[in-house]
Every structure is written in structure tokens, then in C-alpha cells.
Amino acid sequence: MQNTTISAHCAVDIRAVRKAYGVGESAFVALDEATVSVRQNEFFTLLGPSGCGKTTLLRMIAGFDYPTSGEILLNGADITSLPPFKRPVNTVFQNYALFPHMTVAENVAFGLEALGKSRAEVKARVAEMLRLVQLEHLAGRRTSQMSGGQQQRVALARALAPQPKVLLLDEPLSALDYKLRKEMQSELKRLQYETGITFIFVTHDQEEALTMSDRVAVMSAGRILQIGTPREIYNRPADRFVASFIGETNFLTGMLQDHANGKAKVALKSGRSIVVNVAPGTPASGEVTFIVRPEHARLVDGPGDVRASVDKVVYFGTDTHIHLRLDSGEAFMVRQQNGSIAGCSVEAGQAVAVAITDGAAQVVKA
């Protein structure tokens, strides 16, 4: 019963997958009981700093590594022990791994030929793929003579050609410069939409994760900390790590008072109270830590919610970051959009008042 429900929704089902090197106390645990379900046609991202286990997990889905315990299912079928060439899953590698002794067309054709498809079918599909990534004019070129962006697209075409059930992308954009990366991000979104294939994308760049994904899994030290849409992850981070890894954050503490329907009143050290969001399961009273995103606070005339003095003002082109030191001692940052050219009017050392948008703050696990 449970299996049919799962296979209807999930392209890839990872169940309590654990990878440990060595045994006992001194074992290095790369993945600690990771459990996640990726849905069909989803653009799913594994996000985390280096060493968090995201690449290890990806490799296990691809078949280049095997878990110490746990299972991996693809559309309901157990593929945990299958070698990579038996899994209908393809990978775009970080360094592209294009075959240097083959042309672009031969690279793209490789998977289809390995599957034994007919020459006509291979030819047609290769042409279709090259059209999809807009590289038809380079079909006969050797891959070593191409730019990074072009090699990327060849790697994509090659991985998509055999129509895999899932496409895995291992930090494919990390070698590209800023502008190219932005272009490729929208390329990838477009490709995923047009082909309808489930994409599992690995990156350490949280901006990339937020802009491209349907859902994100934030990982750290082998554990999955939170799975949710970009909005959920950003506005409702589950814990301190997620909150500080994604975007800029301010951490404040206060005493929790009333608590109903996911909202609560918190008394700040300044004496004022604000309304914050709480996750279900938070205790009804006591001291809590909550986050305030810099764009959810503003400098005001009048008393505001907290008082602070300005440490420094940093200009960013589109925004200005105002670094403050609250009267209660914590560091705090306010982000203002530079709507007018005149710019920000505060200076270092000035005393200011800060107001926090009601309902914007989120309580997190300390």
C-alpha cells in the first residue's frame, strides 16, 4: 500500500542512507541517516557547504558509491546495489568529463550507442539534443577546443540524450564566471521545464539554489537539516545553521509570551515587544532566539523596537548595509534599497532606532 503511494509521487526516494568510513567511534560519517523524497518533474537542489555530504549523496544516486546502510529507490524500484550503467540516471560532472578523443556529436551519441540503439535513431536524437542546447554548428568540433560554457552544454546534451528518468548535476556552474553562470542558470531552468525530467542539482551557492529550485534540501555535516521551497527555507529556517547559511541574518533573543496559531509575542531587552512566527512544537514560554532578515528591519524616527548606534555603512550599488551595535549589545544589520541617488543619511557613531516588521521574525532552534 505504502509503496504505490510513494512511487506515484517520487522520482527518487532516499531512505535512511548512511555512509561511514571506518568503524566504531573513530568512523568518519559522511552521511547520517539521510532521508529525502524527490518528486517527479521537480528541480530539486541539495545545498550545503563543502564536506556536508551532498556530493556523496549524489554519487550514490548515480551509482559510483554504495551506502553503508539504507536504501535508494527510483520510481519505487530498489537501485541501491545496481552498478551505474544499469541505472536510468545520468550525471553532469563538475569538470564535464567530456571524452577528449571524440567530437561533440560522438560525445552526445555515446550513451545511446552504449544502449545499442540503431544508427538512425542515434543520429536523430543527437541532432535533436544539439538543437536543444543550441550547438548544432559545433557538432564536428573536438571538445577540448571549446569554451567552458560550450563544454557545459555538450555535457548536458550528452546526459539528456538517453532520456534518463533523473538528471544529476554536480556543481556544474562553479567553473563559470558570473555572467555566464547567470545565463546557464536560466538555460537549465528552461531545459528542465521543456524536457520534464527530474533534476537533482548540487551546489554550495545559496543564491543559485534559491533562484533555480522547486525545493531545496539544506545539508550540513552529513545531515539533512531542512527540506522546503526556497521561500520556506528563507523565511522559515528550521535552525540556526540554515538561517545563517541562507542569506544574511540577525539573531536576537527575547522572552516568549503569548503563543497562538503560529504567532507569538516576544519581549525584547529594550522593553518593547514584537510579533514573531513560531514553528509548532516551540515551548510556550521562556527565552527564545529568533532571526530577523536585514530587509525586514528599517531605521525610523521615534522610539522603534530597539535602539542602536551605527558601526559602519557599506554601499553595495543596489543596497546599503547599515551595521549597527544594539544598545543591548548584539550586532545587527539593516538593509536599505538605494531608491534615491542621494543615498543613506546616517553616519558612523550616530544613535538610531530600528523597527522590525511585524510577523517577519522567525523563532529558530538555538
Partner 1 sequence: MTSVNDLTTEIEAADARRRWLLASPALLTIFVAAIGPLFIVLAYSFLAPGDYGDVKWQFSLDAWMSVFFERDIFDDTLSLATAHIDIFWRSVKLALITTALTLFFGFPTAYFMATRSERSRDLWQFLITIPFWTNLLIRTLAILQIIRNEGILNTVLIKLGVINEPIQILFTDTAILIGMVYVYLPLMVLPIYASLERLDFRLVEAGYDLYATRWRVLRKIILPLAKPGVIAGSILVFIPAIGAFVSPSVLGGGKNMMFSNLIELQFGQGRNWPLGSALSITVMIIVMAALLIYVRNNASKDERHA
Partner 2 sequence: MRKGFSVRYQPGFTAIAVACFALLYLPVITLVVYAFNSAPSVAAWGGLSLHWFQVALTNSDVIDASIRSFQIATVAACLATVFATMAALATTRTRRYRGLGFIYAFINQPLMVPEIVTAVALLIIVAQVKAFAGYSGLGYLIVAHTAFCIPFAYLPIRARLENMDLCLERAAADLYAKPFYTFRRVTLPLLWPGILGAFMLAFVLSLDDVVITEFVKSGGQDTLPTYMLGQIRRGITPEMNAISTAFLLLSIVIVTLFFIVSRKRT
The DSSP H or E segment spanning 330 is none
**Cα Rg of the chain (Å, integer):** 25
Q: Report helix, strand and coil shares of the chain as percent, to nearest 5.
A: 30, 35, 35
Considering the complex, state which of residue 68 and residue 273 has its C-beta at the smaller distance from partner 1: 68
Give me the least distance between CB of 87 and partner 1, in Å please.
15
Where does this chain bind partner 1 (CB under 8 A)? 15-16, 66-71, 80-81
Considering the complex, state which of residue 174 and residue 273 has its C-beta at the smaller distance from partner 2: 174
Give me the least distance between CB of 86 and partner 1, in Å please.
13
Considering the complex, state which of residue 45 and residue 90 has its C-beta at the smaller distance from partner 2: 90
Which of partner 2, partner 1, none is residue 69 near (CB under 5 to 8 Å by kind)?
Answer: partner 1
Give me the least distance between CB of 322 and partner 2, in Å please.
46
Considering the complex, state which of residue 81 and residue 186 has its C-beta at the smaller distance from partner 1: 81
Give me the least distance between CB of 93 and partner 2, in Å please.
6
Instruction: Give the whole-angstrom CA distance, residue 272 versus residue 206.
Output: 34
- 52 CB-side CA count, 13 A: 20
Where does this chain bind partner 2 (CB under 8 A)? 62-64, 83-86, 89-91, 93, 95, 97-101, 110-111, 114-115, 158-159, 162
Give me the least distance between CB of 89 and partner 2, in Å please.
8
Considering the complex, state which of residue 80 and residue 94 has its C-beta at the smaller distance from partner 1: 80
With a CB cutoff of 8 Å and minimum separation 6, the contacts of 140 are: 103, 104, 105
Which of partner 2, partner 1, none is residue 114 near (CB under 5 to 8 Å by kind)?
Answer: partner 2
Angle, helix 104-114 to helix 148-160, in steps of 10 degrees: 20
Instruction: Give the whole-angstrom CA distance, residue 206 versus residue 49.
Output: 9
Which of partner 1, partner 2, none is residue 68 near (CB under 5 to 8 Å by kind)?
Answer: partner 1
Lookup: cell for 127: 541532432
Give me the least distance between CB of 30 and partner 1, in Å please.
13
Q: What is the 3-state secondary structure (H, E, C) of 86-138?
A: HCCEEEECCCCCCCCCCEHHHHHHHHHHHCCCCHHHHHHHHHHHHHHCCCHHH
Which of partner 1, partner 2, none is residue 43 near (CB under 5 to 8 Å by kind)?
Answer: none
Considering the complex, state which of residue 159 and residue 238 has its C-beta at the smaller distance from partner 2: 159
